Amino acid sequence: MRLIRHCGELTPDHRGCVVALGNFDGVHLGHQSVIRTAQAMARQVGLPHAVMTFEPHPRALFHPEGAPFRLTPFRVKARLVEALGIDLLFMQHFDSAFAGRSAEDFVTDVLIGCLAVRHVVVGYDYVFGKGRQGTGAYLHTMGERHGFGVTVVPPATAPSGEVYSSTRVREYLVEGKPAEAAKLLGHYWEIEGRVEHGDSRGRTIGFPTANLHLGEYQRPSYGVYAVRAGLDAGGATLWRGGVANFGRRPTFDKPDEVLEVHLFDTTGDLYGRHLRVALVDFLRPERKFAGLAELTAQIAADAAEARRRLAVRRFPAESGPVVPVAEDCPAP
């Protein structure tokens, strides 16, 4: 996959593509339906298949005071899109000037002038342009006028009938239901970043942790999770089971939110290493303990429970870019 940040980076071979438009935060199964529809159309007629997304997320521009909400910062989103086999990922910079452009300008300047699109694919709820004037119906009108096709993909639903939705994924995470979020995503939700120095307390009690701050990520429920954690290993990812706590560590009156991850069967210094943490199952809410001995005993129990819950799940091949939903997800 080639990443395009500016129109000038496009070659003649890239123009005349079939493009899927959207923010695609989470790249959930509904997003994947839109992207795969564009991909199938492109392959059928021998054209490049592309995804256009917008960075930073428009919500960050329109509501900068809001709480962190991203399911997939751009690096993660790009990895997920690439895993779908897309030829081009066009990252359109989204700022006040771009937000002020009319729907017509976006079509004529970007879709036609830059990409020379042959076909545009969007989800049923996609809107664009100043004042959200652009819709699927508007794209159809412009397509008829300028000679490109348009497909509006209807809502995709889970077997339960639930519509795939980034908003619903966020709600499940806030409710402490990562397994339910994973069923909408098609993979376990991941947090990734560089391992930071903590107070090293975990090392002194036999449970060393790798600490991550979440930055722009959506905050999941405070509590303890069974996780799959992936360390960079020379271009590959080395996956390990683990147990993690996300919260403010009330036993020690810490004010900041930190994800503390204890990796099973792992030794060595992890500071500065790039770590991916997939939340598999929620074990319990975060709580305050009477002292270090009580906390240590609870961590040991949490680790044992995390091992149990991971062991009863049959994970598909782990060599890919995500931790897919386990084939067997029994109730705890």
pLDDT at position 332 is 36
pLDDT at position 160 is 86
How far apart are the C-alpha atoms of 165 and 150, rounded to whole Å?
A: 22
pLDDT at position 233 is 75
Backbone Cα Rg of the chain: 22
How far apart are the C-alpha atoms of 191 and 197, rounded to whole Å?
A: 17
pLDDT at position 330 is 44
pLDDT at position 254 is 75
Where are the extended beta strands (E) located within 62-138?
A: 88-93, 119-123
pLDDT at position 331 is 40
Domains and CATH numbers, the chain: 2-153 (3.40.50.620), 178-311 (2.40.30.30)
pLDDT at position 40 is 97
pLDDT at position 318 is 55
Residue with tokens 């899927």: 20
pLDDT at position 171 is 98
Q: What is the token pair recorded at 130? A: 């100043």
Contact 148, 120 (CB under 8 A): yes
Three-class secondary structure of residue 205 per DSSP:
coil
**Shortest CA distance to 208 belongs to which of 222, 221, 198?**
198
**Residue stretches of the chain with pLDDT short of 70:** 198-206, 316-321, 327-332
How far apart are the C-alpha atoms of 190 and 323, rounded to whole Å?
A: 8
- Residues of 176-208 as b/e, b for ≥16 C-beta within 10 angstroms? bbbbbbbbbbbbbbbbbbebeebeebbeeeebb
Cα within 13 Å of Cα(296), Cβ side? 11
CA–CA distances in Å: residue 5 to residues 24, 53, 54, 55, 90: 17, 10, 10, 10, 6
